[in-house]
Structure 1
Amino acid sequence: MGTTQLESVPEPKYWHLKTVLTEALDSEFSVGEILPNERDLAARFGVARATLRQALEQLELEGRLQRRRGVGTTVAPPRMGVSVGTEQHVWPGGPGDAWQSVDCTEAAPPAAVADILETGRDEPVHTVRRTRMSHGQPVAAELLYVPASSVPDLSAIDAPAGAAHARALLRELHRLELEGQDSAVELGSARADDAKELDRLPGAPVLVVTTRYVAGARTAALSVATYRADTCRLTFGDSGGVEIHHPHRHAS
């Protein structure tokens, strides 16, 4: 059988422009700085505005740019490290936890969650909703599912609803001896509720990190955290992995 050789495919014009824009971001702009409008940028680089938009959309997807309502297109901060697979086991809400509690409700969880928690599919569980911010922007939203059996004394605590009730539940959870935890990561698309919390459009790429907390040889809690894929990077191990920094400096 004969062999064939694929002809070289020319680089799309917008892709070349993306490379040029990346170099400009590194040498001329600072984090948070607003880019010139599309008309001026297209004129500067000698391209059609449609080509420019494709390049800007790719840079936004890669986390180099952010489009903020009422502000414009700005240079994004470095991606936030998300530690996955670390050997250090800690309960949510422990020392150094960067999450902010929003509220706490009690309802039947999704069927897949109920199966992991080994609760009845119609059995209510506590659901703590938390958010994580970076540089003033929401970067992650979490749903922490906790069965009533993990916090049996919670009903005796006089804590109002909302964030205070969520914090009280986390304190009760810390009474258990954490035996271990395991995490899984997958790429997904933002659902309508996630998109609203993360200030993204529905369908935007997200990283879904599911963490199971084990105490008393059973799943004591389950976290489903949704991270913006354009602002986060995963780190493995206690050291946090390799750091990559973009200069984001002004030209002298």
Structure 2
Amino acid sequence: MGTTQLEAAQEPKYWHLRTVLAEALDSEFAVGEVLPNERDLAARFGVARATLRQALEQLELEGRLQRRRGVGTTVAPPRIGVPVGPAEGDWPGAGNDTWRTIGCVEAPAPAAVASLLNEGRPGYRATDMVHTIRRVRMSHGQPVATELLYVPRDSVPGLPELLPPTAHPRAVLRELHRLELESEDRTVELGSARAEDAKQLERLPGAPVLVVTTRYVTGGRVGAVAVATYRADTCRLTFGDTGAVEITHHDDERRQAS
């Protein structure tokens, strides 16, 4: 088989510079330290300023650098370690759940979520209204994730018809907790931040994110679906032997390797 065009392509200059800069960040700079200005950096590495900017933007996207108005470009702190999802066997909002509820509406679920909710629910239609609870998670004073929890109306039949807006999400969660949780499973995929999620995460729309989708099964059917969006520049997801999901950061890996 001949060499493909992709295999023959050379590494872009900015990407090579990004690798060199990343090594310099690890060996020469401390967290919070301000980098030299672009002119000095370009001269040091013998590259055009346009190439340097591309490399710096890539490192910022990866969470290695922060650009602060009036300060300059600084070395970002290590990624934050936070557990993902509630403790095994718990509904969202139960026990030591660290998510904060910020709103609840009733609307049809997105097509992908509606497909999951349809499992074990005869007669369910994609246009059926579901309770949609938005939650956010903070860690060390910054938002690390936002979540949409989708709960079909027939999962919480004891919910009163008329509720004040502030009580609605609490009432939905309370009724959900009355059900027996049989199992839960999660999938993780790379995605791009939608406008509302980006706003909650203090990122730009289209920024890379990690999307964790959780199905909660009760009574032989999917009782609720949670779609949590984590900042990819802040969080790194790893799976343990038990199937639980945890987050580690670069400093942990460096300490284990030394």
TM-score bin, normalised by smaller chain: 0.7 to 0.9
Question: C-alpha distance in 1, partners of 2:194/2:90?
Answer: 28
1:134 aligns with 2:118: no
Deviation digits for residues 130-152 of structure 1 (CA, Å, limit 9, x no counterpart): 11223333222211000112222
Write out aligned runs for 1:1-252 (5 A). 12-67=12-67, 72-81=72-81, 88-118=88-118, 119-155=124-160, 160-162=164-166, 164-237=167-240, 238=242, 243-246=248-251
Residues 206-232 of structure 1 show CA distances to partners (whole Å, capped at 9, x for unaligned) of 221111001111111101112222211
CA drift of 1:190 comes to 2.0
Distance, in Å, in 2 between the alignment partners of 1:30 and 1:169 is 46
In structure 2, list runs of 5 or more residues that go unmatched: 119-123
* Residue identity (%): 70
**Using a 3 Å threshold, how does the CA distance of structure 1 residues 112 and 241 change in structure 2: closer, same or farther?**
closer
Give the alignment's TM-score, normalised by structure 1: 0.79
Cα 1:175/1:74, change in 2 over 3 Å: farther
Report the CA distance shift for 1:116/1:25 in structure 2 as closer, same or farther (over 3 A): same
Aligned length: 245
Whether the 8 Å CA contact 2:130–2:151 is kept in 1: the answer is: yes
Alpha-carbon distance between aligned partners in 2 of 1:59 and 1:88, rounded to the nearest angstrom:
35
**C-alpha RMSD over aligned residues:** 3.5
Q: Tell whether the 8 Å contact from 1:85 to 1:236 is kept in structure 2 after alignment.
A: no
SS of the residue corresponding to residue 246 of structure 1 reads helix
Deviates more, 1:190-199 or 1:68-77: 68-77
CA distance in 2, matches of 1:32, 1:133: 21
Deviation at 1:57, TM superposition (A): 1.8
1:146–1:222 contact (8 Å) kept in structure 2: yes
User: 1:56, CA displacement in angstroms?
Assistant: 1.0
Write the distance in 1 (CA, Å) between the matches of 2:246 and 2:136: 24
Distance 1:43 1:138, change over 3 A: farther
Which region of structure 1 is more displaced relative to structure 2, 92-101 or 102-111?
92-101
Summarize the Cα distance change of 1:8–1:99 in structure 2 as closer, same or farther, 3 Å threshold. same
- Which segment is superposed worse, 169-178 or 36-45? 36-45
Which consecutive unaligned segments of at least 5 residues does structure 1 have?
none
Determine if contact 2:79/2:248 at 8 Å carries over to the other structure: no
The question of whether the paired residues in 2 share the 8 Å contact of 1:181 and 1:212 is answered with: yes
User: Residues of 2 paired with 1:10 and 1:117: CA distance?
Assistant: 46
